[in-house]
Amino acid sequence: MDDGMNTHTRSGHGERGGGGNGGRAARIDPADRAQLAESPVEIRRVLALFGPHRRALGIVTAIIVATSAISMAQPFLVRAVIDDALPSQDVTLLLWLVGGMLAVAATTSLLGVVQTWMSSDVGQKVMHGLRTQVFAHLQRQSMSFFTRTRGGEVQSRLTHDIAGMQSVVTTTATSIASNVTTAIATAIAMVALSPRLSLLSLVVIPPAVYLTRRVALLRREITARKQRELATLHSQVEEGLSVSGVLLTKTLGAGSAATDRFALTSERLVGLELRSQLAGRWRMATMQIIFAAIPAIIYLAAGFPATSGGMTIGTLVAFTALQGAIFRPLMGILNIGAQWISSMALFSRIFGYLDLVAEVPEPREPVHLDPTTVRGEVAFEQLTFAYEREGRPALDGIDLVVPAGTSLALVGDTGSGKSTLASLVSRLRDPSSGAVRIDGYDLRDLDESTITSMVGVVTQETYLVHASIRDNLLLAKTDATDAELWSALAAAQVADLVASLPTGLDTVVGARGHRFSGGEKQRIAVARTILRDPRILVLDEATSSLDNRTERALQQALDTVSRGRTTITIAHRLSTVEHADQIAVLEAGRVVELGRHEELLALGGRYAALASAAARTEALAGSLARAA
């Protein structure tokens, strides 16, 4: 799978299982055909999902058949009421027949409730299992998957597609079974009531079904366009009224243009809605005439001795009711093909994610380490890493050892490979060749929980979930006490800020932490990492969003926290890494210089040039600040 994965988003699942609705007909979506052509689905794999629920599905099928069979008693009871009980004024017989009619209605209604409950229960359980399985599987994917895949596509498959899959059980499968059994039972009852009139039905039913389907297809085409416009409207609301979207439109002065686009989309929706309401009105009028003519033709046939066959009035009334009721299951049967294709397309998209091969796989036999006994030595052995779509390696032949409890600073120009190297320590990616080892153990032999307990990461892109400060901190340590939370906040130089808030730790940070400034968010993220107490710290420009004063305070706190731990720092300002035990200068993915600050300055090479440029930049910034 790549970033070209099918991004077709279902917005009309409600219509896909509606085969039982005689007023609509399903049409095979070309996108569904294309999806299945690209990723065929084995029926055995689909059936395996429902394997644990075979007993429940068997009961549902039995209930559907029983309901169809029991409901067919109704017309015969009606015939007996009209032909026998009423003419003879037999009250006892009438009571029995009416009681039977009520019993049939009550029984079929009760069975319908049980059927809906059981089929929905199976659908929800299968949907829950798939949704959880896909979510867990995607979490095991490497960062490269998420950088090449749109977030909306992932959400669509986890929500829309899996929710649509539920209709395979609760709507599609049950409607197929119900329509087939009802159509068969109705046809048998019609033949039992009057074989001659049943032959007449073979003439009048096909054109009625044809016209019904034509109108439904016309309406479905308009509905599909309406769904696309609704999706556009939804995107405009999401993009225009989110925190980031509002900030963008306000700063660009684009609010008026955004309103105009929204109004245009809304206007198109109005037109489509009107067309949907008026679509096929002449065909509908023709259908109404046919529907009115069908019982008229039956009544006419019943009036001629040659065609009536001595039919009673009760038989005529019962047959007419059956004749009108057979359209719904017939339309449902006609829709089976489209429902099947659309359902399999949903499974294809879901299985497409489940079949993704994890680029950072879990080891088959992981080595279990006690985090409290880990020393924290990090070694890069002949390390090479290349991004999938880049010609040259991002890292090439890195050989470095960071002794336990010491610090390594990575410096270099943008694109030199600093962040890539740091990401390999937390196994966000695996090297193309070579190895990253902690205390001699290859990271590929350790499971994810072991690595995350040993390695703490603070990146330059701070992410806070839309929850309270407390909840954000507890992501690092779920059983942390308030005292531990405040201690971590104090170490990150942010405890005073949190204490000054009206609700303290229970303050909601807002979407992506927008309630706080960049520096405040960064310090909360640092506190979250401190709370985990890892043996190895990776600081990927952790202080990049802070002003000089706050950066110095936080750097002092990080220096205190880093004492006794192995620390790998990507430098934002060279002045923050002057006291590192080792400084590695990267250029085009290679370590071109390695040593302490004084040693590298004395060499007069690449590091000295970077330090000189940094000094000039800081001097210029100081001059501008004094001038202001």
pLDDT tens digits along 256-275: 877 888 888 888 888 877 77
pLDDT single digits (tens) 407-419: 999 998 888 888 8
Q: Are 19 and 331 in contact (CB under 8 A)?
A: yes
Q: Residue type at 397? A: G
Share of residues in the chain with pLDDT > 70 (%) = 72
**Which one is predicted more confidently, 381 or 40?**
381
Calpha distance 295→174 (Å, rounded): 30
Provide the pLDDT confidence category of residue 8 given band limits of 50, 70 and 90: very low
Average pLDDT, the chain: 77
Pairing of strands 407-411, 582-587: parallel
Task: Tell me what the mean pLDDT of segment 317-346 comes to.
Answer: 73
- Cα three-residue angle 21-228-147, rounded to 5 degrees: 125
Its sign, for the CA torsion 463, 466, 472, 475, is negative
The DSSP code for 504 is: G
Provide the pLDDT confidence category of residue 9 given band limits of 50, 70 and 90: very low
pLDDT of residue 584: 92
Residue found by looking up tokens 């259908």 in the block: 287
The DSSP code for 468 is: B
Q: Are 561 and 491 in contact (CB under 8 A)?
A: yes
Q: Write the CA distances from 177 to 108, 285, 315, 433, integer angstroms.
A: 15, 31, 28, 56
Q: Are 527 and 505 in contact (CB under 8 A)?
A: no
Its sign, for the CA torsion 419, 425, 427, 430, is positive
Q: Are 426 and 457 in contact (CB under 8 A)?
A: yes
pLDDT at 388 over 50: yes
Coil vs helix vs strand at 385: strand
pLDDT at 99 over 90: yes
pLDDT at 391 over 80: no
Q: Which residues pair with 381 in a beta bridge?
A: 435
Pairing of strands 441-442, 433-438: antiparallel
**Which one is predicted more confidently, 588 or 8?**
588
pLDDT at 109 over 70: yes
Its sign, for the CA torsion 133, 137, 139, 145, is negative
Q: Which residues, in sequence order, are CB contacts of 533 under 8 Å at separation 6+?
A: none
Coil vs helix vs strand at 429: coil
Q: Write the CA distances from 375 to 379, 502, 514, integer angstroms.
A: 12, 42, 38
pLDDT of residue 25: 44
Q: Are 417 and 395 in contact (CB under 8 A)?
A: yes
Tokens of 223: 């509905």
pLDDT of residue 307: 55
- Cα three-residue angle 457-143-565, rounded to 5 degrees: 15
Residue found by looking up tokens 């009619």 in the block: 101
Encode burial over 353-386: b for 16+ CB neighbours within 10 A, e otherwise.
beebeeebeeeeeeeebebeebebbbbbeebebb
pLDDT at 582 over 90: yes
Calpha distance 251→621 (Å, rounded): 26
Give this prediction's pTM.
Answer: 0.61
Tokens of 192: 């039992």
Identify which of 142, 143, 583, 586 has the alpha carbon closest to the alpha carbon of residue 396.
586
pLDDT single digits (tens) 230-263: 767 777 776 777 666 776 676 667 678 778 888 8
pLDDT at 423 over 70: yes
Calpha distance 197→191 (Å, rounded): 8
Residue found by looking up tokens 């590192």 in the block: 580
Calpha distance 194→189 (Å, rounded): 9
| Region label for 123, one of left (φ > 0), alpha (ψ between -120 and 50) or beta (otherwise) | alpha
pLDDT of residue 29: 58
Count of Cβ atoms closer than 10 Å to residue 392 Cβ = 9
Provide the pLDDT confidence category of residue 196 given band limits of 50, 70 and 90: confident
Q: Which residues, in sequence order, are CB contacts of 501 under 8 Å at separation 6+?
A: 507
Calpha distance 422→419 (Å, rounded): 5
pLDDT of residue 36: 64
Tokens of 426: 């937390």
Tokens of 479: 């059983």
pLDDT at 167 over 60: yes
Calpha distance 296→319 (Å, rounded): 12
Encode burial over 240-273: b for 16+ CB neighbours within 10 A, e otherwise.
beeeebeeebeeeeeeeebeeebeebeebbeebe
Identify which of 530, 522, 452 has the alpha carbon closest to the alpha carbon of residue 485.
530
Sheet holding 407-411, edge to edge: 455-458, 536-540, 566-570, 407-411, 582-587, 590-595
Residue found by looking up tokens 């029995």 in the block: 96
Identify which of 311, 309, 256, 241 has the alpha carbon closest to the alpha carbon of residue 511.
241
**Which one is predicted more confidently, 111 or 145?**
111
Q: What are the DSSP calls for 24-72, one per residue?
A: ------HHHHHHHHHS---HHHHHHHHGGGHHHHHHHHHHHHHHHHHHT
Share of residues in the chain with pLDDT > 90 (%) = 11
Beta strands in 251-370 (DSSP E): none
